Chains A and B, each alone.
Chain A
Amino acid sequence: MEIIVDRARCTALGICESLAPEVFEVDDQGDLLLKSNTVPEGQQGEVEAAIAGCPTEALRLRG
């Protein structure tokens, strides 16, 4: 499963990082970095929580 970030919507609030820190990280420029482009083993729940927790609905899964 590929993780897709809609860069036009993302405002880098970082809620995804707090819910799935192994996958998401916000840098000092306020850009969201994906540490992994796909859902890592055992991280499905965390990634789904991050998607549900995004206030700008900038995250989704593909595949």
Chain B
Amino acid sequence: MHGGRLVVVGASLAGLRAAETARKAGFGGAITLVGAEEHLPYDRPPLSKAFLDRGADSAGACVPTFRPVETLRDELGVELVLGNPALALHPARKAVQVFDREIRYDHAVIATGATARRLPATEGLRGVHTLRTLDDAVAVRAALDAGARTVVVGAGFIGSEVASGARKRGLEITVVEALPTPLVRAVGQAMGEVCASLHRRNGTDLRCGVSVTEIQGDGRVERVVLSDGSTVEADLVVVGVGTEPATGWLEGSGLTLDNGIVCDETLFTGVEGVYAAGDVVRWRNPAFGRQMRLEHWTSAAEQGAAAVRNALEPAAARPYSTVPYFWSDWYDSRIQFVGLPQADEVRVVEEHVPGRHRCVALYREGDRLTGALTIDGQSVIMKYRGLIMKNAGWDEALAFAEQRRAA
């Protein structure tokens, strides 16, 4: 294992895993972890789930910090440079610029993630939030604690989880989704409709096919005007309309940028010593033979580890291959998806029945199983992931589904 200096840019899950994995792999050189936020690395999935629950300790006891500072600094020997975003990458002199400091690297892993998209012309209007960072989550929780009438823009994961949290508190909530159903991009339209039923059954006012034309208020939000002409009174607006990969600081660096940092199968950027991981990377996933950018917990964690191994031992670099996986908890139901949502056919093999009965849908591309969605199907979802991993055919998947249904 070579020494030298490893610089990890981005101090969230992928970046943390890169730093930890380097040490686990025996890297004895210096490690610097650069983060834009002032906080120690923390876990994001809880921010739109348990963190929003009533009674969650606002003093910070439930802040989902991964490791105490002592572990990072003393046990892992990681230099923490937090509260400052990286401003530029200079491949010619192998350096990352952070504020007024240039940090030299021999190996670099870029894991700057993605930033939440905002609605235009809402800056300066209090009560309008995205939900991506810990600071966002603190603000949203405070508003929910105050009993805010809430409008969520976007019925994706973030928006839907906020709706679940608000309903759990008994608050009125309206979810506005421009597309015909929730989660169209994540699970396709047919199954998006099934997910929509979870909202309706739980008393959330879900309005699909309408967009926000204006958010009105004098200094702070008062109402949201929709494209169908209706208005909704609101004290809190949570915007969950997707993200942009955080690559602005890499313009002109020589890295290939195209909706993320474009990498090969080994997460190599093409610039010597520089690898990328997490939400910011668009790489060629050998499991499907195509390029993709994922925003899932599992791939971020795995890519952080894979990218740093490859960065430290480029001659032995191995491809990173994965069957994408995500989960989302809505009300009392758990939605889980494996694979890819773009499909020639989506077949429901177990119908959704309100209550605790699982729903299973399978996704076909050509004659291959490429995806599976379950609602409350914890006991079967990963078996489908296994089938997709081993390139199972459609017939085999249907036979398996039949056998599970009978069980």
Contacts and interface: CB of A to CB of B under 8 A. Distances in A.
A41 interface: no
B386 A13 contact: no
Interface of B (DSSP majority class): helix
A58 interface: no
Contacts of A15: 298, 325, 382
B308 to A, nearest CB: 13
A16 to B, nearest CB: 8
Nearest to B302: A53
Contacts of A53: 298, 301-302
Given A14-B336, A18-B325, A55 B381 contact: no
Interface in B287-306: 297-298, 301-302, 305
Given A13-B378, A53-B301, A55-B297, A18 B327 contact: no
Nearest to A27: B379
Interface string A5-19: 000000011110110
Contacts of B302: 53
Contacts of A26: 378-379, 382
B385 interface: yes
Contact of A28 (B301, B327, B379): B379
B381 A52 contact: no
A27 B323 CA distance: 22
A12 B378 contact: yes
Interface in A44-58: 52-53, 55
Nearest to B20: A52
A18 to B, nearest CB: 4
A40 interface: no
Interface string B348-386: 000000000010000000000000000000110111011
Contact of B385 (A18, A25, A52): A18
Nearest to B17: A52
Contacts of A28: 358, 378-379
Nearest to B384: A18
B381 A14 contact: yes
B91 interface: no
Given A15-B382, A27-B379, 6 more contacts: A14-B378, A17-B382, A18-B382, A28-B358, A52-B305, A55-B43
Interface of B: 17, 43, 45, 297-298, 301-302, 305, 323, 325, 327, 334, 336, 338, 358, 378-379, 381-383, 385-386, 389
